[in-house]
Every structure is written in structure tokens, then in C-alpha cells.
Amino acid sequence: MISRCSPALLMVGMCLLLTACGETASHELVAAPRASAKAKDTAPSADDDSVVASGPLVVEHQVDVAAQRDGIVSKILAEPGSRVKGGQVLALLDDRQISADLEAARAKTRSVDADLKNWQAETRVLETDLERAQKLWDGQIISKEQLDHARFKVEADRWDVERVQQLLVNSKHVEHSLELELEKTRITAPFGGVVARRYVRAGQEVARGDRLFWVTAEAPLRVRFTLPETFMGRVKRGAQLTLTTPDLPEERHAARVIEVSPVVDPSSATIEVLAELTGKPGQLRPGMPAAAVAGSAPVQLHCRARALRDKARLRRL
């Protein structure tokens, strides 16, 4: 009974295939430029360079802002949807301990600096005594031992000056290190954009590496999509495209290809293409689905791809 019904099922399947292809073509006319009635009835030629590909709108700068040190969130200064500038503070961590340590380090630096100046002044006094002792020695007024004693005192003080200088350098490094730790309590935007998400709340304890905010730029908008390997060499850098999105079907945006993968992905037999919006983004936002249209007959190519998928599905049945 099953073998007798198979031809009938095959005929029904072929009818559905032709119907689906026609429906796809009419549907794609909404998102793609208008094609003539003759183009819908004509099969795509072997050298047809038209293409319709889809992918999400993305931006180059889009990151999760993470905590750089352990701490407790003391204040939230940005909410999702807020537009921020690069370096703008998004949140603050409790910095009381770090601030106290930094003030102590600055006080020690001032103390060491004063100690250094004291040793330098004493060294200048001893150098003056050495000059006087040298003159007295030249006049045979003092002994050689007295001259050497004055010289050794100057040399000892010079070593003390160098020692305190190194203490001052170390103290300044400790102070700078604490200043960097204090900066880490200020969670800032790495670039201008919009706060897409907030993962923390005031009073929450966070560890180093925890996500705090998701910040994304709003421009330039790009779309990354893949094409069959047969388009290698046919879609080139600088090619002009038209971007559409089902979220805003009435809008058309110009774009150009800025990057074409030089190799074919062996697992999918495709190449990757990156296009960038060249005009104003209008109401487009990162994450929206988009279709990149190029060539004179994109409807035919899209319909052909749908027909091949339906044919493979019928074979499995």
C-alpha cells in the first residue's frame, strides 16, 4: 500500500515545492528592491552575481565591563539605556580602606623627602668643612688624619643621601600603586556608547573579573554574513550593498563591503563577509536582524536556496 501511494505523495510534494518557491519570491520582494515580472519567471544563470544574505547588526566596540578588584559596590551611576562617554563613571566601589592607605603612603613620601633634604643639607656642610680642612692641610696647620676624617664624613653622608633617595623612590612607587588601586574602585566606560545591561546593584560584593555592565557603541553599524564558496572573487571589498531589516521594513540603508575572508571554511564551504553602514543609522540598533542585498536579481537566488532545502526535505520523507 505504501509503494502505491509514493508517486502520489511525490507529486503532492513537487506541487508544494513550486508553491513555496513562489511564496518565497513574493515575500522577499518586501525586503529587497523591486524585480520585474520577467525576473521572477526566469531561472538564474550560471554567472548570476546577485546575493541576499542575512545576519545581525553588530558594532566593533561591545564589551562587558568587569571589576578589576574585589570590593563592595557603593553607588550605581548609570542605568541600562543611559548614553555614556568614554571614561564616564558607571559605578563606585567602597574605597575607604584604599583611600586611608594612600594617605598614609603620601605622608610617608613627604617624610622621606624631608629626610632626604636634611641629609643633603648636612652633606653640603661637611663638604664645606672638607674644603676648609684641605686649605689647612695645604698650610701645614692640621694633620693628615684630620683631613682624612673630614673626607670620610663627607663620603658617609653621600652614601646616606643615596640611601634615602632610594627610599623616596620606593615610597613614590607604593603611592602610585595605591593610586592605581583607587582608580580601580571607579568603574568607567571604556568608550562612548550606551549601557545595554547592568549586572550588579548597590551593596553587592563583587570579585575581580565579575561582570558589572555591558556597554556597546551605537556606530558604526556592521553586518557579518556568510556566502557559498562560489561567490569567492565575485563579492569584493568596496562593493555596494543595500541593508534592510524586518523590524523596519520601510527603511533602506546603503553599506559597503569592508572585509572578505580570504579563505573558505571547510566545514561549511562558505566565506565570511563584513559590511559597514555608510550613511546615518536612523532607527537601526545593534542586534537587529538585517539582510544584505547585492546584485540585480536577489529574489531568484533566495528562491533557489529555499527550493533546494525543500527538495532535500522531501528526499528524507
For the beta sheet containing 186-188, the strands, ordered from the edge strand earlier in sequence to the opposite edge, are 186-188, 89-93, 71-76, 205-206
Least confident of 100-109, 111-120, 162-171, 228-237: 228-237
pLDDT in tens, 35-81: 333 333 333 344 445 567 788 888 888 899 999 999 999 999 999 99
Count the residues in the chain: 317
Instruction: Enter the DSSP assignment of 231.
Output: G
Residue 209: which region, alpha, beta or left (left: phi > 0; alpha: psi -120 to 50)?
Answer: left
pLDDT interval class at 293 (50, 70, 90):
low
How far is the C-alpha of 5 from the C-alpha of 306, rounded, in Å? 26
Least confident of 40-44, 106-110, 140-144, 236-240: 40-44
How far is the C-alpha of 154 from the C-alpha of 125, rounded, in Å? 9
How far is the C-alpha of 157 from the C-alpha of 163, rounded, in Å? 10
pTM over 0.75: no
How far is the C-alpha of 229 from the C-alpha of 8, rounded, in Å? 37
273, 224 contact by CB (below 8 A) = yes
Instruction: Please report how the helices 2-31 and 298-316 are oriented relative to each other, as an axis angle in degrees rounded to 10.
Output: 160
pLDDT interval class at 295 (50, 70, 90):
low
Residue 185, pLDDT > 90, answer: yes
Q: In the prediction, which pLDDT does 251 show?
A: 83
Pairing of strands 51-58, 71-76: unpaired
